[in-house]
Structure 1
């Protein structure tokens, strides 16, 4: 019997599924159909190789290719010989419904706010942030005209204090020169990021994070379509909001995929509006002020769970 190859997997899976699939969906469905029993690969992202096979076939064979690309964002592929049998509009609508259904199923298990303690643990220990965080409860905000405060509040705010990094003499001279090494961070958290919700989520982060020194969109799961990462890179270059990818298996291995643009000047008008609108944000600034006066961190910020507590929380919530 011939050995299973990536090409066999692509063709067999698309024949069985009878609809366009992304490279990652091809890999998942191939596993569901038990097409991988005698297949081995050392790569950590075999779907990336599947995508490369599809693109190569299209580029080399042109109009005679076995594979045809039916969608760009996200990239989806199908068999050219069956393409006329498909109703692509109907399939697209069904996929949208499936995504909504999947998000609702996830929401039954855990909420975006359940990710806060993961982010707090990561930013507290990560060398870039070294931040203490504070959750901003939107429900505590003033009730204004509908839409007035939409996309105003970040999910979590953070602060970096230099007290452990700088000597007393350095801090003293900074104080005399009216220079501060304190940094303010703003974070918008989401569970899943894909082409369907990218622009909404990204510009929500743009709207509620522009006041801080650094603003981030934090995601648990990101579709690894190369085209999606290219679009995120374009948005990052244009608008400066960074991207953090949370790792539920090991929170401390979460990573900054795209760094935030650093704003040297705080947007104090927006800060003041947040103080007026939300008590949590007001308390956050009061805590920073008190700690600055003391020259040490004494105020209460979000609790940092230890490794065992964090592991239990993730398992209990079914976060993945």
Structure 2
């Protein structure tokens, strides 16, 4: 049984929309989890990721999701029953949120979760405090870096062949994280990202709250197109709903002069060493990267 087959069975038996966690918990109660062909350590997170990706990217998907929070999944053939069901769900009280009830550092675990499940990337936080302020400018280091190993799903012979013919099988990411993006901080945040992320294959500006103002979005898209910087919006209430709202332009060549400068930071240097070892050995050393937490453990906004 696959994860999607498991989800289909549970939803069909319950005959109502369910969250990814509800589907998993019911599957465990029914013993369906024992029928999965998976050895992963966090199957509940894998189930959620697969459902979200399937609904979003597969036009022939048998699944759909509700607009409610949290998102619930149902079979498309059940669509006629959804409106009636959704109307029975009590609406959450509308309370005005504080300006911010979280710190930038709280968003690192959200980005780690999203990068791992949706970009197949292993991330590492870069501690700015261990770099000499005399030797570095204000905007030298990104907040987080990441690596995607194309060869991790390839047979060993294919990986060896790609290396032999000079095909690069590693993608390096750079992330600059902000709590919020609006006209008030757009230019400073954007050019900070440009300054410290030009070395990577793909660079992203990441935020938990992004202004929906039409003029702001036009300016954000213009800057992104001009400099090739992508934008990721983190959903702190529903981590699976985080998304790349503007894709980054992929650069084939790395800026090794900047990489050499960044390597004065021990966190970044350790990241480079880990990537080299993992790529050469073909084995991912998860302990050397940021820990990927469960959805429940990364919840920060009540």
What TM-score does the superposition give when structure 1 sets the normalisation length? 0.62
Deviations 1:242-297 (A, max 9, x none): 10000112112111111111110000000000002x11000100111111221110
Could you tell me which residue of structure 1 aligns to residue 133 of structure 2? 143
Change (3 A) 1:134 1:280: same
2:260 corresponds in structure 1 to 272
TM-score by length of 2: 0.65
Question: Secondary structure of 2:212's partner?
Answer: coil
Q: Does 1:250 align with 2:242?
A: no
Q: 2:116 aligns with which of 114, 124, 129?
A: 124
Q: Give unpaired runs (5+ residues) of structure 2.
A: 1-66, 69-96
CA distance in 1, matches of 2:155, 2:187: 43
Q: Which residue of structure 2 lines up, in the alignment, with residue 172 of structure 1?
A: 160
CA distance in 2, matches of 1:261, 1:309: 32
Displacement of 1:306? 1.5
Aligned ranges for residues 1-320 of structure 1 at < 5 Å? 106=100, 109-126=101-118, 129-144=119-134, 148-276=136-264, 278-299=265-286, 300-311=288-299, 314-315=300-301, 318=302
CA distance in 2 between counterparts of 1:235 and 1:173 reads 39
In proportion to residue count, which structure has more helix? 1
Which consecutive aligned stretches of 4+ in structure 1 deviate over 3 angstroms post-superposition?
A: none
Whether the 8 Å CA contact 1:163–1:296 is kept in 2: the answer is: no
Cα distance in 1 for partners of 2:249, 2:285 equals 29
CA distance in 1, matches of 2:273, 2:186: 34
- The answer to whether the 8 A contact 1:221-1:245 is kept is yes
Between the two proteins, the alignment pairs up a number of residues equal to 207
**Superposed displacement of residue 309, structure 1:** 1.8
Alpha-carbon distance in 2 for matches of 1:110, 1:221: 12
User: Which protein has the larger Cα radius of gyration, Structure 1 or Structure 2?
Assistant: 1
DSSP-derived class of the 1:260 partner: coil
Question: Hey, what's the Cα distance between the residues in 2 that align with 1:176 and 1:251?
Answer: 39
Cα deviation, residue 150, structure 1: 1.3
Contact in 2 for aligned 1:135/1:156 (Cα 8 Å) = yes
Q: How far, CA to CA, are the matches of 2:143 and 2:231 in structure 1?
A: 14
**Where do 5+ consecutive residues of structure 1 fail to align?**
1-42, 45-101
Aligned to 1:75: none
1:144 match: secondary structure: coil
Cα contact 2:239–2:295 (8 A) shared by 1: no
2: CA distance, partners of 1:163 / 1:279:
26
Which deviations, in whole Å up to 9, do the C-alpha atoms of 1:179-206 show, x marking residues without a partner? 2210000000001111111001001001
In 1, Cα distance between equivalents of 2:162 and 2:105: 37
SS of the residue 2:221 aligns to: helix
Q: Deviations over 1:44-70 (max 9, x none)?
A: 9xxxxxxxxxxxxxxxxxxxxxxxxxx
